[in-house]
Copies of this chain bind each other. A is one copy, B any other.
Amino acid sequence: MSKSTKKELNRESLLSQGVTRFIGQGYHGTGLQEILDAVNVPKGSFYNYFGSKEDFGADVIQYYIDPFIAQLASYLDNSGTDALGAIKCYFDELIIELEKSAFKGGCLLGNLMGEIGDTSEVCQKSLQSAVNRYRDLLQLGIAKAQQQGTVRQDKSAEEMADLLINTWQGALLRMKIEKSSAPLKQCCQNLLGDYFRP
């Protein structure tokens, strides 16, 4: 195995573990040691991969959001005839996944926005970028639905995308303490099923 491949492999293992631990215990609640132990990478090597814990956090954020964007994009592509339906299906699947994990964790972006969104400049920038990338794609889907006539046109797609993301994030917080998917379902029903309709 070539060297660069092994290095890249280690890097991704660290990022993957970072996602898991940061979601479960937060940024300050997670030590580098436990991440390193979990993927069998020595302490000293960490700083060959990342400049600091903070830089690592910023990379973890991007590593986390990529699959969500890919998945939403896939839903939007595959159902060309009904963008609103695709968005609904996407969120329905998210709900199923969250139910599977017993309502633990929630969304890494939301959790880190609350914990370090205003204290770590590096992570703040990464969070901005991640949220914006996600919002832009959601906005695209909503605009498509507007053209198809399934979503009202007197509000901008950007405004509705932002509103959906924010309500969803708040619903995830409620989910965590109520151990119930009711807030998530209520979010989808009120916005996608009612407020956004023409």
Contacts and interface: CB of A to CB of B under 8 A. Distances in A.
A170 B128 CA distance: 14
Contact of A114 (B103, B111, B162, B166): B111
A115 B105 CA distance: 9
Contact of A170 (B103, B105, B118, B166): B166
B186 A163 contact: yes
A187 interface: yes
Contact of A159 (B27, B128, B178, B186): B186
The 7 closest A-B pairs by CB, nearest first: A166-B170, A28-B28, A169-B170, A170-B170, A114-B114, A28-B29, A117-B176
A193 to B, nearest CB: 12
Interface in A147-198: 159, 162-163, 165-171, 173-174, 176-179, 183, 186-187, 190, 195
A124 interface: yes
Interface of A: 24-29, 103-106, 110-111, 113-119, 124, 127-128, 131, 159, 162-163, 165-171, 173-174, 176-179, 183, 186-187, 190, 195
A170 B165 contact: yes
Contacts of A104: 118
Given A110-B173, A127-B177, A173-B113, A119 B166 contact: no
17 contacts: A25-B28, A26-B27, A28-B28, A105-B118, A106-B118, A113-B174, A114-B115, A117-B177, A131-B174, A163-B167, A163-B187, A166-B173, A167-B167, A168-B170, A169-B170, A169-B174, A195-B195
